[in-house]
Amino acid sequence: MSAPLPPPEEVRATFDRLLARDPEQAAAYLHGLGVASGYLAGAAGARSIRWTSGSAYGPLECTVNLAKPEKDPRAIAAAAGAANAGGAGAESGTGAGVGVPQCDLCWENEGFPGTPEHPAKPGLRIAAIELGGERWGLQFSPYAYFDEHCIALSAEHRPMKIDEAGFERLLDFIDLFPFYFVGSNADLPIVGGSILSHDHFQGGRHTFPLMNAPVERAVELPGLPEVRVGVVTWPASVLRLASRDRAALVRAAARVLDAWRDFSFEPGGVRACSRGAGGAPVRHNTLNPIVRRVGPAYVMDLVLRNNRTDGARPWGVFHPGEDLHHIKKENIGLIEIMGLAVLPPRLARELPAVERELIAAAREGRSPCELEARLLTCADTAPHAPWAADVLARRGAGLAAGGADGPHAGAEGGAPGPVVREEVARVFAAVLESTGVFKRDAVGAAGWDAFIGELG
Q: Which residues have a Cβ under 8 Å from the Cβ of 216 and sit 6 or more positions away?
A: 230, 231, 232, 233
pTM for the whole structure: 0.92
pLDDT of residue 65: 81
Nearest 5°: CA angle at 61, between 294 and 385? 155
Helix (H), strand (E), coil (C) string for the chain: CCCCCCCHHHHHHHHHHHHHHCHHHHHHHHHHHHHHHCCCCHHHHHHCEEEEECCECECEEEEECCCCCCCCHHHHHHHHHHHHHHCCCEECCCCCCCCCCCCCCCHHHCCCCCCCCCCCCCCCCCEEEEECCEEEEEEECCCCCCCCCEEEEECEECCCCCCHHHHHHHHHHHHHCCCCEEECCECCCCCECCCCCCCEEEEECCCCHHHHCCEEEEECCCCCCCCEEEEECCCCCEEEEEECCHHHHHHHHHHHHHHHHCCCEHHHCECCEEECHHHCEEECEEEEEEEEEECCEEEEEEEEEECCCCCCCCCCCCCCCHHHCCCCCCCCCHHHHCCEEEECCCHHHHHHHHHHHHHHHHHHCCCHHHHHHHHCCCCCCHHHHHHHHHHHHHHHHHHHHHCCCCCCCCCCCCCCCHHHHHHHHHHHHHHHHHHCCCCCCHHHHHHHHHHHHCCC
105: confidence class by pLDDT, cuts 50, 70, 90: very high
pLDDT of residue 75: 61
Indicate the Cα dihedral angle 320, 257, 59, 430, nearest 10°: 20
1: confidence class by pLDDT, cuts 50, 70, 90: very low
Question: Once rounded to an integer, what is the mean pLDDT over residues 371-379?
Answer: 98
Q: What is the pLDDT of residues 311-369, one digit of tens each?
A: 999 999 999 999 999 999 999 999 999 999 999 999 999 999 999 999 999 999 999 99
Question: Once rounded to an integer, what is the mean pLDDT over residues 11-20?
Answer: 98
Question: Once rounded to an integer, what is the mean pLDDT over residues 278-290?
Answer: 94
pLDDT of residue 84: 52
Residue 94 has pLDDT above 70, yes or no: no
Percent of the chain predicted with pLDDT > 70: 88
When comparing pLDDT for 166 and 5, which is higher? 166
41: confidence class by pLDDT, cuts 50, 70, 90: low
Q: Which residues have a Cβ under 8 Å from the Cβ of 249 and sit 6 or more positions away?
A: 167, 171, 227, 241, 242, 243, 298, 300
R_g of the chain computed on alpha carbons = 23
Question: Once rounded to an integer, what is the mean pLDDT over residues 247-265?
Answer: 98
Q: Which amino acid is at 13?
A: A
Domains and their CATH numbers in the chain: 1-37+69-73+103-142+145-206 (no CATH), 49-67+324-435 (no CATH), 211-318+442-455 (3.30.200)
Q: What is the pLDDT of residues 195-237, one digit of tens each?
A: 899 999 999 999 999 999 999 999 999 999 999 999 999 999 9
Question: Once rounded to an integer, what is the mean pLDDT over residues 35-52?
Answer: 77
409: confidence class by pLDDT, cuts 50, 70, 90: very low
Question: Once rounded to an integer, what is the mean pLDDT over residues 14-39?
Answer: 95
When comparing pLDDT for 145 and 133, which is higher? 133
Residue 43 has pLDDT above 70, yes or no: no
pLDDT of residue 73: 63
Question: Once rounded to an integer, what is the mean pLDDT over residues 52-62?
Answer: 96
Question: Once rounded to an integer, what is the mean pLDDT over residues 176-195?
Answer: 94
Residue 412 has pLDDT above 60, yes or no: no
Residue 44 has pLDDT above 70, yes or no: no
Q: Which residues have a Cβ under 8 Å from the Cβ of 214 and sit 6 or more positions away?
A: 232, 233
Residue 88 has pLDDT above 70, yes or no: no
When comparing pLDDT for 404 and 348, which is higher? 348
pLDDT of residue 425: 97
Q: Which of 31-35, 110-114, 140-144, 215-219 shows the highest mean pLDDT?
A: 215-219
**How far is the C-alpha of 107 from the C-alpha of 288, rounded, in Å?**
24
pLDDT of residue 244: 98
143: confidence class by pLDDT, cuts 50, 70, 90: confident
